[in-house]
């Protein structure tokens, strides 16, 4: 069965430090992968997506993610975190029917000054 | 463009009461979705509608019904609310199937069932 695992429930990073949020997926074929961000009290916003091609994808707000098929991973990175990046981050994979997304349980990012 | 709108924003129900959560999108999207979000559980799909006139069950459909009223509107109904349905409910839409297209989310409805 398809699934998405985000191993880190909560991460704290100092402002200006680099960030990596982990995501592992279970999927039989080529996955369609997404990262969404949710600010407190808000809905979700798409950061970036991977369908095919270049395994390093660029997104909004300075985020990038790298698809590694051999590790079944799609980790999200940012070289320098800003206080406004504090939010909950969700990794998701498209289901095989192409009808919906399967979300991970999320990683909460806190940014310390 | 308002995007995806949801009403109400907050609701408190007593066990056994019924209510309908409303969702509308103005992006001419074909597909619409209802998710619930619970702490530590991420988002779980309740129902989706791939196109006007069709609806299908998601991961957690029990206790809910949906209506795709037209292309713009997709409502979620709780016939007899239970405390286990206390959650934040998100509506989303996409141009076609969610696998290939970005989903746009509404701001959510925070529901408490006492």
Min Cα distance A44 → chain B (Å) is 6
A-chain residue closest to B49, CA distance: A99
SS3 state of residue B66: strand
Q: Which residue out of A99, A103, A105, A107 would a mutagenesis test of the B interface target, given it has the greatest number of B Cβ atoms within 10 Å?
A: A99
Min Cα distance B107 → chain A (Å) is 4
CA–CA separation, B24 and B93 (whole Å): 9
Among the partner residues A34, A42, A49, nearest to B107 by beta-carbon distance: A42
Task: Give the H or E element holding residue A20.
Answer: strand A19-21
Q: Which residues contact B100 (CB under 8 A, 6 or more apart)?
A: A32, A51, A94, A98
* Residues B64/B77, Cβ–Cβ less than 8 Å: yes
* Residues A102/A49, Cβ–Cβ less than 8 Å: no
Among the partner residues A44, A94, A105, nearest to B105 by beta-carbon distance: A44
Q: What is the pLDDT of residue A33?
A: 92
Q: What is the pLDDT of residue B98?
A: 59
* Residues A91/A81, Cβ–Cβ less than 8 Å: no
Q: What is the pLDDT of residue B99?
A: 62
pLDDT tens-place values along chain B, 114 residues long:
789 999 999 999 999 999 999 999 999 999 999 999 998 888 999 999 988 889 999 999 999 999 998 999 999 999 999 999 999 999 999 987 656 678 899 999 999 999
Half-sphere exposure of A5 (CA within 13 A, CB side): 9
- Residue B68 falls in which region: left (phi positive, over 0), alpha (psi -120 to 50) or beta: beta
Among the partner residues A45, A90, A98, nearest to B99 by beta-carbon distance: A98
Q: What is the C-alpha radius of gyration for chain B, rounded to an integer number of angstroms?
A: 13
pLDDT over 90 (residue A29): no
| pLDDT tens track for A45-99 | 999 999 888 899 999 999 999 999 999 999 999 999 999 999 999 999 987 777 7
Min Cα distance B32 → chain A (Å) is 9
Phi, psi values for residue A71, rounded to 5°: -105, 0
């Amino acid at each position: 069965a398809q699934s998405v695992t985000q191993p880190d429930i909560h991460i704290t990073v100092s402002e200006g430090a680099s960030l990596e949020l982990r995501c592992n997926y279970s999927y039989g074929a080529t996955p369609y992968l997404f990262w969404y961000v949710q600010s407190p009290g808000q809905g979700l916003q798409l950061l970036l997506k991977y369908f095919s091609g270049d395994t390093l994808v660029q997104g909004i707000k300075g985020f990038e993610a790298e698809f590694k098929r051999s590790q079944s991973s799609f980790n999200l990175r940012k070289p320098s975190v800003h206080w406004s990046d504090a939010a909950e981050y969700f990794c998701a994979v498209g289901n095989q029917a192409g009808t919906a997304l399967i979300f991970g349980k999320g990683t909460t990012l806190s940014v310390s000054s | 463009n308002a995007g995806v709108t949801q009403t109400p924003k907050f609701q408190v129900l007593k066990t056994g009461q019924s209510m309908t959560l409303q969702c509308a999108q103005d992006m001419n999207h074909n597909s619409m979705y209802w998710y619930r979000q619970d702490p530590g559980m991420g988002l779980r799909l309740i129902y989706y509608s791939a196109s006007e006139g069709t609806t299908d069950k998601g991961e957690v459909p029990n206790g809910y019904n949906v209506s795709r009223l037209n292309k713009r509107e997709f409502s979620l109904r709780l016939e007899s609310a239970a405390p286990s349905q206390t959650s934040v409910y998100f509506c989303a839409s996409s141009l076609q199937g969610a696998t290939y297209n970005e989903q746009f989310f509404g701001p959510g409805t925070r529901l408490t069932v006492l």
